[in-house]
Amino acid sequence: SPWGSVGPAAPACSLTEVMSEQLARQLDEEDQGFPALPPSPAADPEEGPDTDSDLMLAQMLQMQFDREFDDQLRREERKLNGDSKSISFENYRKVHPYEDSDSSEDEVDWQDTRHDPYRAKPQAAPRRGFSGKGKNITTKHDEDACGRKNTARMDNFAPEVHVGDGLGMDLKLSNQVFNSLKQHCYSEQRRSARLHEKKEHSTAEQAVDPRTRLLMYKMVNSGVLENINGCISTGKESVVFHADGGLEEQPVPEKVVLKVFKTTLNEFKNRDRYIKDDYRFKERFSKLNPRKVIRLWAEKEMHNLAMKKAGIPCPDVVLLKKHILVMSFIGKEHVPAPKLKDVALGAEEAAEAYRQVLQLMQLLYQDCNLVHADLSEYNMLWYQGKVWLIDVSQSVEPTHPHGLEFLFRDCRNVATFFQKRGVSEALSVYDLFNAVTGLNIPVSADDDARFLAEIVAMEKRNEDHVQKRGKKTFPVTLEDGGPPLDPD
């Protein structure tokens, strides 16, 4: 046989022999020959549960099945969540209330179950709005019931709001306190969202948004700039950075500044007053899009800096990229030129500075046909014995509906500053205005209101004045009805 030798076959046995009483007695004797096993402790009726009842057996089996089912749910939950707790199977667990309290923490996590024995649950008022009878009646407006309900509702606050351990205590919050906490949480959520929005979509002080940062990186990568050193000045409308010029084909100064106009209008909300009535940008002005307004604002300063051709000391324009204006640096060795308000000028230097400012205002008005509209000691630099003009983005033409008002304000700022510095030859506000414009508006006892009324009337008469090249004329009608005055 290929499977090896075959053993002898078992002797055949008939059914009669198997069922015989003699064979049954023989088997019984053999069973009695084995040693008896000791009784198990679980079988002791005094120590173990009574297993004679089918109901008890069924409950024990069901509890064991529920434990295994809960363990399987926990394993699936840990597998899906990992380190987070975004998915929970608490609603599908079958934890029995009569389980022993000696169970491990892994088996029953009371903090995650719906049946938390340590959490005081508020007594819900019945649907009819009250409970009890007679003097013991309790309505839904009961102070204690409302206090406990408000404490339980604190659990619905945002996750970042730390409510502490008060939820497990018998605390009673009044409606006023709960409403104040709720309003505070709502305000904090809005504030955090607003700060995040500002950080992502607007330029703040000494910082830029991701779009502006990308434009600056592109300037460095294209060779326009070698590197950007840092912030040197901040203001209500822009942030100024110092940078080194690159080696591009077009001539770029060795030291330049980047004027990044802020894309938020929180600090300078009346920009449209300076740009919407300017005929150069009137058709392109859109108040509904702040970013387009900022780009027009940067382009407006680039055009106004053409005053350099008239001999007015000001920065040279290098490049305009959306709301970033690259200009030449006024200063020495990474130190910007000081503002006129920060310079300690002697008597002769102050008088020389005043004469230069008067000449610059006349050149700006008569030759460049512009009004600075924000001229003060804060927007004038003192460098190499000369006065330099900066921040001309708000400059307008004299024919602007408020152009002469802006000029009168500039004259007031200049006259006040140099008079405080003790410059004897400093003209008054009215004489300075007439000297700059060439208009002989009569002045009577320093009547500021009357002088301004004359200026406003002049602006209204010239509102429909035809735009011409060169110097604009503003005829003034005398009180006696005589012919208009000639500006010359």
Phi, psi of 413 (to 5 degrees): -65, -45
Token representation of residue 121: 């649950």
Give the residue from 139, 150, 156, 158 showing the smallest Cα distance to 176: 150
Determine the Cα–Cα distance for residues 353 and 422; give it in Å rounded to an integer.
12
Token representation of residue 287: 């108040």
Determine the Cα–Cα distance for residues 424 and 427; give it in Å rounded to an integer.
8
Q: Which residue among the candidates 209, 277, 278, 374 is catalytic per the annotation?
A: 374
Say whether 486 is catalytic. no
Give the residue from 362, 357, 350 showing the smallest Cα distance to 424: 350
Determine the Cα–Cα distance for residues 426 and 37; give it in Å rounded to an integer.
124
Cα 51 to its chain centre, rounded Å, is 68
Phi, psi of 328 (to 5 degrees): -70, 150
Residue 378 near residue 384 (C-beta atoms within 8 A): no
Strands (DSSP E) found in 265-312 = none
Q: Is the dihedral of CA 324, 329, 334, 336 positive or negative?
A: negative
């499977």: which residue's tokens? Answer: 3
Determine the Cα–Cα distance for residues 395 and 374; give it in Å rounded to an integer.
8
Token representation of residue 369: 């046909």
Catalytic residues: 374
